Amino acid sequence: MGGFYIGRERKARKAYGFDEVALVPGEVTLDPNDVDVSWKLGDLTFAIPILVSAMDGVVDTNFAIQMGRLGGLAVLNLGGVQTRYDSPAKAIEEIVNSSSEETVEIIQRVYQAPIKEELIEKRIKEMKKAKILVAVSAIPQQAARFGPTAEEAGADVFVVQATVATAKYYSSKRESLDFGKLCSKLSIPVIVGNCVTYETAYELMQTGIDALLIGVGPGAACTTREVLGVGVPQVTATIDAAAARDEYFKKTGRYVPIITDGGMRIGGDICKALASGADAVMIGSAFARATEAPGKGYHWGMATSDENLPRGARVRVGTTGTLKEIVYGPARLDDGSQNLVWAIRTCMGYCGAANIKEIHEVEMVIAPAIKSEGKFFQRTQWRGIKK
Amino acid sequence: MGGFYIGRERKARKAYGFDEVALVPGEVTLDPNDVDVSWKLGDLTFAIPILVSAMDGVVDTNFAIQMGRLGGLAVLNLGGVQTRYDSPAKAIEEIVNSSSEETVEIIQRVYQAPIKEELIEKRIKEMKKAKILVAVSAIPQQAARFGPTAEEAGADVFVVQATVATAKYYSSKRESLDFGKLCSKLSIPVIVGNCVTYETAYELMQTGIDALLIGVGPGAACTTREVLGVGVPQVTATIDAAAARDEYFKKTGRYVPIITDGGMRIGGDICKALASGADAVMIGSAFARATEAPGKGYHWGMATSDENLPRGARVRVGTTGTLKEIVYGPARLDDGSQNLVWAIRTCMGYCGAANIKEIHEVEMVIAPAIKSEGKFFQRTQWRGIKK
Amino acid sequence: MGGFYIGRERKARKAYGFDEVALVPGEVTLDPNDVDVSWKLGDLTFAIPILVSAMDGVVDTNFAIQMGRLGGLAVLNLGGVQTRYDSPAKAIEEIVNSSSEETVEIIQRVYQAPIKEELIEKRIKEMKKAKILVAVSAIPQQAARFGPTAEEAGADVFVVQATVATAKYYSSKRESLDFGKLCSKLSIPVIVGNCVTYETAYELMQTGIDALLIGVGPGAACTTREVLGVGVPQVTATIDAAAARDEYFKKTGRYVPIITDGGMRIGGDICKALASGADAVMIGSAFARATEAPGKGYHWGMATSDENLPRGARVRVGTTGTLKEIVYGPARLDDGSQNLVWAIRTCMGYCGAANIKEIHEVEMVIAPAIKSEGKFFQRTQWRGIKK
Amino acid sequence: MGGFYIGRERKARKAYGFDEVALVPGEVTLDPNDVDVSWKLGDLTFAIPILVSAMDGVVDTNFAIQMGRLGGLAVLNLGGVQTRYDSPAKAIEEIVNSSSEETVEIIQRVYQAPIKEELIEKRIKEMKKAKILVAVSAIPQQAARFGPTAEEAGADVFVVQATVATAKYYSSKRESLDFGKLCSKLSIPVIVGNCVTYETAYELMQTGIDALLIGVGPGAACTTREVLGVGVPQVTATIDAAAARDEYFKKTGRYVPIITDGGMRIGGDICKALASGADAVMIGSAFARATEAPGKGYHWGMATSDENLPRGARVRVGTTGTLKEIVYGPARLDDGSQNLVWAIRTCMGYCGAANIKEIHEVEMVIAPAIKSEGKFFQRTQWRGIKK
């Protein structure tokens, strides 16, 4: 598996992120309309391989309903403002309107209100009423308690998400979550994350989970890499987890899809995640730019509220279009942040990939980031945020 | 062919762009005046190896005439404003004067006017009247129809250009262009593009085309790499296509020149493209800076007008000199954007290359981009655009 | 040991810094509360693996007392303003209030006042009164003289620090410091630095010293790399010195801890230094941001005062929190500059390292710096300095 | 010799510049005062290994006299304003006072005045009167004519300098310079440049020249890399030329020193050039900052005046100190741009190199540029130019 010496008798592999690779067009090209972009989670089939992150600035019940109607899946955070406040909009407003200096403190305070189980039920039922597939998320410490509540209230998918999830967690003070037990208690699919290595991915699949989130440290509103030094860039993390998925499938006949989570801003990044082996992607910041996002152009990472060691930032991305424009276009921006599905279809067409399985096989090259390819004129003025 | 692990059991080649290589002077040097920079396309010989991209902000009939008189070849876009409007200048003006926020929308609207076949004929005849060699371009969907029209009207070269062109395109809804059939129907040379791999280059040559455009994703006004993740940096793409050209020539005796298209801003980039194996280069943004360019210092990619997924940007490059100054000097700027032909001649002289074939053999080194070579003082003030 | 050709018949190893690597989460994860972060120096045990650099803008007696109470070790510079002035605060104020243009000159002048031995004693006693472990530092030229004075006055640790320290120094004009003699004369632990190679680390350990400082050129307020071209990035330097420590331990049974010194701004960098093999880290700029730091948000390197060739800069880092917040939190910033101990604990937990020895074995990957991982929105506004 | 694939069946070596390497301290260190930094050119010995480039903004007769008195060697350009104008100061003033937009044109015009042979004699005699060693330079086209004139007028060293010099130059229109003939005609040492490869260096040495200038494209006021794409970064170019020098010495017993020319801004760069194998360095921009420089803080490349294709820029570097401060200190800046000789001595001391021959053997590592080593605070405000 190669590796380079980084010091005396010590080698390290080089890991790659989205900015370091590019996809090679195929010998055969396809009409984008003929491409199949659907994927499966347990018995559920989704029309598009895009999930929206459980971030309070992005997903509320209304957003989840709109996204569900478009064929995607937005995850509602059961540990956020939606389940702590009867009127979460006011809490969000306070965060959004805070000055830069006080944001972390305000986020920390807002998230100290207790989670109310009746609000869990209420939020899920609000979404079910719209007849969409409902996904909710909890941290491992609360998963055993909230999982059954969520399923009972009608949730279709349960997500357990920590910065780093492993099959083996030890603590002298509290019992760790047994993923196997949780999966057998729930009849709905369980998505678990996040992880970045072959070994952990394989071990988590062995516990019986239904899908795996890949990504530690890459998100736009996450500072894990800075604060802790921990993280593996997403192209390599996805390739490694995909190898575990394929090996596990070969051994057991059970296919556990992997979902690359974090670090993708634009269509090109999503396409690269799929080419690295992802069955679907989970995206936050690109959707924080939707008119429907409760954060009104702001979002913040789930670890920003950590009382001791906040590891996230409030990021302003601006509001640039409707959710429909972001998902299905027509794109009114030329920077790859809108019409993500057509971007996936076009890319797959250029690469000759008829479905998600086939894009896993597309050739990649290591390529310098685009900025060094001659685009030195004032491109920035054309991007992004309307002032 | 080497390659590096980018993840478990998955390797990728490293691809190189212009900013990552430099040319090594030769053991022998030549007087630039003794260097031959001409190239051949079919039976046509051009004095200089420079084509101008079919971009509406750059090439109109007047620009094409001036460029033809200088020995180069400017390509007129048959799918742009020139064939949609009797007075294309007004449409261009609207795009140029739009504010940053509305540009994409305005471009999309302007390009919804229908293409008129009588304007195709009219534009070609306007150019023929000036007794220059005339080149026009169409997308594959319109090539079968516009090709014969163009030849009849007097065009000397027909260009078929898509973001990604392959010999094998499949669609359930429409028939794909048969390049072989097109070439046998037309008696003028057919240039096809764009492609970036050995295999596709070879297969396209086998269809009977007369020259090949190399480049996916690198142009200054193109956002394919960002939006779709697809692209191969130009040095590697050109080397690979040149290998296909040479192999095809060895097998068949027919020499199909390759034209590197996109990503070259300045003389040094052009020289590197030629050293990578290009027989000629196609350039947009450097010529958008000419007084004669209809875009008055602005240009935009052909895919910017895509209704669903615009993949281009309107880029302001400013107007810095006449077309003649850009091609033959004297350069009034020191940044390599003027007197491109003398730059090519001087480079070839320093490298000891007496003609285009010989510059294909010049040694390159992988070298850090110039910015990291100690030029940290305020150089930028000396470049480019007059305010 | 690999290496790459950098020219004809000449190879060089590639050396790595903090921005080029990242830590890989473990298969097993641990509760951060269960992690042991203590380390030993001679017979002394410290609760946390953090020393504070002997910089006059950072450490005065009050700062050292506060840091000692928190379980860390701040080193007082015996060659700085504390021992040259009865009221060092005034000297510091002059430096801090100087304009950028005059800073170097003012620093040079301020440091020309003579060192008074009675002030050495006075400062050490001030600190001892607070019943903390006291560490002081001198340059090699003054170590033989100041070492005994310091021990007598009650110092618990003596640090000898030069930009580059070796076991073999030759001068035609003055006798060089004999580290072996110094160590046998003093009964308190002697820390020596700085060095960056296996060979020098091994030879210095052989002289009998008790710990070694690793790092030439990387500090935020040090310009040795620019001015002299000399330096080895910290990840590689630490790995190499750790190899020497382990080999020396294998041979002799004596464990000489190594302390990575310089170039670490945030929690992630500290974690990477520990993963590279450091037993502890020495930090300057992160602590210059403490309310307790005498420099009021400014600090400057020890070599800035060099009369002939200043090799340091006055750097403004701003004041962002109390020393306690920086060490133990709660962090009020999300950028990794506060609650360093919890960052170390969390990182070790994620990597499955139960103690400092185990984090030495954690896997690293070579990874692109974080900026290229998709964090292009306005993050900077969220960092650091209150205006 | 290694090399990496940059495309199908085509390899390229990686070449390194100053920002990519760093020097490793030695196991033995020396007192900087004990280090010998002298070098020899023919029978002449120079106290310091620093030449000043023949740039009109840097070297006039007064500057050359001052530099000669300090033990260095400043080269006067025989093809510049000094030999075209009786009062060159006025011409320089016009260039310095021009606005950015018109500089290139003004430089081109100023350099169209004819060179007067009587001024060549006059300038050389002005310098000889001060009893310094006098060096002057000409381009190859004028070398045969100006060389004897210069020697007769009293010059001690004759420099022939072109962007790229080779032993074999062919032109259909004019005879090329025969270096062998020139050297046998002159009895003073002849320095020739510039070149960057082993082969050309070796062949030029065989012609009988006395020293070689190394460097194509790296200078701060030179845009050859941008305009022509030609250049080899200086560390690799110097290593390769040094290998030719050593091989030539082995074969013939004649030692032809090599002088690295261009791309060195600060002490660290100079030290790296010496460690790469240079016997001396030639520097422009660092000396343009001297009070004595006629350009008053501005300088421009020799190729900026090219009528057809200017390949240089007027660069403002500001005036930061006297020539003596730049050469021997005391440095009043901390950025490595002053007291260059003490920087060389200190570096050699840290690396254990007692003389120039020994620094050729110092170990280098490939290291990331300093900016990525954690220096993210506002350092820039502390550097350089007084506003």
How far is residue C147's CA from residue C191's CA, in Å, rounded to a whole number?
12
CA distances from B361 to B31, B250, B364, C356, D171 (A): 18, 17, 9, 55, 21
pLDDT of residue C303: 79
Beta bridge partners of B11: B5
Q: Which of these, A85, A155, A96, lies nearest to A125 by C-alpha position?
A: A155
Q: Mean pLDDT over all residues of chain C?
A: 91
* Largest pairwise CA distance in chain D: 62
User: Which residues from chain C sit within 8 angstroms of residue D32, using beta carbons?
Assistant: none
Q: Taking CB atoms and an 8 Å limit, are D103 and B382 in contact across chains?
A: yes
CA distances from C345 to A176, C281, C314, C350 (A): 18, 15, 32, 9
Asked whether residue C31 is assigned to any structural domain, the reply reads no
Give Cα D118 distance to the centre of its chain. 27
Which range has the top average pLDDT, A181-185, B314-318, D262-266, D311-315?
Answer: A181-185
Q: D158: which 2 tokens? A: 């004759």
pLDDT higher than 50, residue D376: no
- B347 annotated active-site: no
- Average pLDDT of B252-260? 98
pLDDT higher than 80, residue A222: no
pLDDT of residue A209: 98
Give Cα C106 distance to the centre of its chain. 25
| CA dihedral for D122, D124, D128, D130, sign (positive or negative) | positive
Q: Tokens 């104020």, residue? A: C93
pLDDT higher than 50, residue A68: yes
Q: Are A252 and A328 in contact (CB under 8 A)?
A: no
Rounded to the nearest angstrom, the minimum Cα separation between A171 and chain B is: 31
pLDDT higher than 90, residue D233: yes
Beta strand D10-14 pairing with B364-366: parallel
How far is residue B110's CA from residue B102's CA, in Å, rounded to a whole number?
12
DSSP label at residue D304:
G
User: Which residues from chain A sit within 8 angstroms of residue B307, using beta carbons?
Assistant: 330
Containing A101, the helix (H) or strand (E) segment is: none
More reliable by pLDDT, A334 or D119: D119
Q: Mean pLDDT over all residues of chain B?
A: 91
* H-helix segments, B85-233: 88-97, 103-110, 117-129, 140-153, 179-185, 198-206, 224-228
Name subunits touching A (3+ CB pairs < 8 A): B, C
Beta strand D258-261 pairing with D211-214: parallel
Give the whole-number percent of chain D exceeding pLDDT 70. 94
Q: Which of these, A214, A279, A333, A235, lies nearest to A22 by C-alpha position?
A: A235
Q: A244-259 as b/e, with b when 16 or more CB fall inside 10 Å?
A: bbbbbeeeeeeebbbb
CA distances from C240 to A6, C6, C220, C247, D373 (A): 9, 21, 22, 11, 18
Q: What is the pLDDT of residues D300-320, one digit of tens each?
A: 987 777 877 877 778 888 999
- Average pLDDT of D88-112? 91
Q: How many residues would you count in chain D?
A: 387
For residue D220, name the pLDDT band (cuts at 50, 70, 90).
low
- Average pLDDT of B255-266? 95
Q: What are phi and psi of B327, to 5 degrees?
A: -80, -50
pLDDT higher than 50, residue A378: no
Q: Which of A252-261, B268-277, C95-104, D217-226 has the lowest mean pLDDT?
A: D217-226
Q: Which of A184-193, B35-44, B172-181 has the lowest mean pLDDT?
A: B172-181
pLDDT of residue A78: 97
CB count, 10 Å around CB of C237?
Answer: 37
Q: Which of these, B283, D343, D45, lies nearest to C223 by C-alpha position?
A: D343
SS3 A281: strand
SS3 C362: coil
pLDDT of residue A371: 53
User: Which residues from chain C sit within 8 angstroms of residue A17, using beta carbons?
Assistant: 367-368, 372-374
Give Cα A352 distance to the centre of its chain. 26
pLDDT higher than 80, residue D288: yes
Q: What is the pLDDT of residues A234-245, one digit of tens each?
A: 999 999 999 999
For residue B382, name the pLDDT band (cuts at 50, 70, 90).
very low
In chain D, the number of structural domains is 1
> What's this model's pTM, rounded to 2 decimal places?
0.94
Q: Are C160 and C140 in contact (CB under 8 A)?
A: yes
How far is residue A229's CA from residue A14's CA, in Å, rounded to a whole number?
15
Give the whole-number percent of chain A exceeding pLDDT 70. 94
Q: What is the pLDDT of residues A195-220, one digit of tens each?
A: 999 999 999 999 999 999 999 988 66
CA distances from C324 to C51, C59, C67, C261, C342 (A): 14, 15, 8, 21, 12
For residue B141, name the pLDDT band (cuts at 50, 70, 90).
very high
Q: Taking CB atoms and an 8 Å limit, are A34 and B7 in contact across chains?
A: no
For residue D371, name the pLDDT band (cuts at 50, 70, 90).
low
Q: What is the pLDDT of residues D2-29, one digit of tens each?
A: 799 999 999 999 999 999 999 999 999 9
pLDDT higher than 90, residue C102: no
DSSP label at residue B18:
G
pLDDT higher than 50, residue D171: yes
B200 touches chain A (CB under 8 A): yes
How far is residue C239's CA from residue A315's CA, in Å, rounded to a whole number?
36
Q: A97: which 2 tokens? A: 């309107």
Q: C247: which 2 tokens? A: 């080999």
Q: Tokens 């047994």, residue? A: A178
Give Cα D261 distance to the centre of its chain. 3
Q: Which of A46-55, C305-314, D231-240 has the lowest mean pLDDT?
A: C305-314
Rounded to the nearest angstrom, the minimum Cα separation between C118 and chain A is: 43
How far is residue C84's CA from residue B244's CA, in Å, rounded to a whole number?
75
Q: How many residues would you count in chain B?
A: 387
Q: Which of these, D230, D209, D211, lies nearest to D164 by C-alpha position?
A: D230
pLDDT of residue B371: 53
- Average pLDDT of C177-185? 96
For residue C223, name the pLDDT band (cuts at 50, 70, 90).
confident
Q: Domain residues for C101?
A: 43-318
pLDDT higher than 90, residue C347: yes
Q: Among D351, D363, D373, whose Cβ lies nearest the Cβ of C233?
A: D373
- Average pLDDT of A154-180? 95
How far is residue C289's CA from residue D227's CA, in Å, rounded to a whole number?
46
Q: D100-139 as b/e, with b when 16 or more CB fall inside 10 Å?
A: beebbebbbebbeeebeeebbbebbebbbeeebbbbbbbb
Angle between helices A140-153 and A117-128 (to 10 degrees): 50
pLDDT of residue B381: 28
pLDDT of residue D380: 29
- Tell me which of B84, B123, B195, B222 is the catalytic residue: B222
More reliable by pLDDT, B153 or A175: B153
Give the whole-number percent of chain D exceeding pLDDT 90. 81
SS3 D100: helix
B363 touches chain D (CB under 8 A): yes
Instruction: Report the CATH number that the domain containing residue C307 is assigned in CATH.
Output: 3.20.20.70
Is it true that the peptide bond before B194 is cis, omega within 30 degrees of 0?
Answer: yes
Beta bridge partners of D5: D11
Amino acid letter, residue B105:
E
Asked whether residue D231 is assigned to any structural domain, the reply reads yes
- How many Cα atoms sit within 13 Å of D114 on the Cβ side? 3
Q: Among C26, C268, C352, whose Cβ lies nearest the Cβ of A229?
A: C268
CB count, 10 Å around CB of C386?
Answer: 10
Those residues whose C-beta lies under 8 Å from the C-beta of residue C286, and which sit 6 or more positions away, are C264, C265, C266, C326, C337, C340
ipTM above 0.95, yes or no: no
SS3 D328: helix
Q: List the single residue in B with minimal CA-CA distance to A328.
A: B308
Q: Are C154 and C134 in contact (CB under 8 A)?
A: yes
Q: What is the pLDDT of residues B126-138, one digit of tens each?
A: 999 999 999 999 9
More reliable by pLDDT, C335 or B149: B149
Q: Mean pLDDT over all residues of chain A?
A: 91
pLDDT of residue B16: 95
Q: B24: which 2 tokens? A: 């090594």
pLDDT of residue C2: 73
Amino acid letter, residue C68:
G
Asked whether residue B338 is assigned to any structural domain, the reply reads no
pLDDT higher than 50, residue A67: yes
Q: Among A6, A19, A227, whose Cβ lies nearest the Cβ of C336?
A: A227
More reliable by pLDDT, D218 or D2: D218
Asked whether residue C284 is assigned to any structural domain, the reply reads yes
CA distances from D187 to C156, D158, D258 (A): 69, 10, 20
Q: What is the pLDDT of residues A266-319, one digit of tens each?
A: 999 999 999 999 999 999 999 999 999 999 999 998 777 777 787 777 888 899
pLDDT of residue C304: 79
Asked whether residue D205 is assigned to any structural domain, the reply reads yes
Q: What are phi and psi of D5, to 5 degrees?
A: -70, 125
How far is residue C356's CA from residue C55's CA, in Å, rounded to a whole number?
26
Q: Which of these, B291, B158, B253, B214, lies nearest to B15 by C-alpha position?
A: B214
Give the whole-number percent of chain C exceeding pLDDT 90. 80
Q: Which of these, A39, A70, C367, lies nearest to B7 by C-alpha position?
A: C367
Q: Which of C107-111, C155-159, D23-27 has the lowest mean pLDDT?
A: C107-111
Beta strand C135-138 pairing with C157-161: parallel
Asked whether residue B194 is assigned to any structural domain, the reply reads yes
Q: What are phi and psi of D89, to 5 degrees?
A: -60, -35
SS3 B168: strand
User: Which residues from chain B sit within 8 angstroms of residue A198, using beta carbons?
Assistant: 8
Asked whether residue D378 is assigned to any structural domain, the reply reads no
- How many Cα atoms sit within 13 Å of A241 on the Cβ side? 37
A277 touches chain C (CB under 8 A): no
- Average pLDDT of C185-206? 97
Q: List the single residue in D with minimal CA-CA distance to B339.
A: D309
More reliable by pLDDT, B380 or D290: D290
Asked whether residue A285 is assigned to any structural domain, the reply reads yes
Q: Are A55 and A297 in contact (CB under 8 A)?
A: no
Q: C370: which 2 tokens? A: 């974080």
Q: Are C301 and C54 in contact (CB under 8 A)?
A: no
User: Which residues from chain B sit within 8 angstroms of residue D297, using beta carbons?
Assistant: none
Rounded to the nearest angstrom, the minimum Cα separation between C262 and chain D is: 9
Give the whole-number percent of chain C exceeding pLDDT 70. 94
pLDDT higher than 60, residue D386: no
Q: C158: which 2 tokens? A: 């003596």
pLDDT of residue D211: 98
Q: Do chains D and A touch, with touching meaning 3 or more CB–CB pairs less than 8 Å apart?
A: no
How far is residue A220's CA from residue A215's CA, in Å, rounded to a whole number?
12
pLDDT higher than 80, residue B72: yes
For residue D259, name the pLDDT band (cuts at 50, 70, 90).
very high
- Average pLDDT of C139-163? 97
How far is residue D4's CA from residue B72's CA, in Å, rounded to a whole number?
35
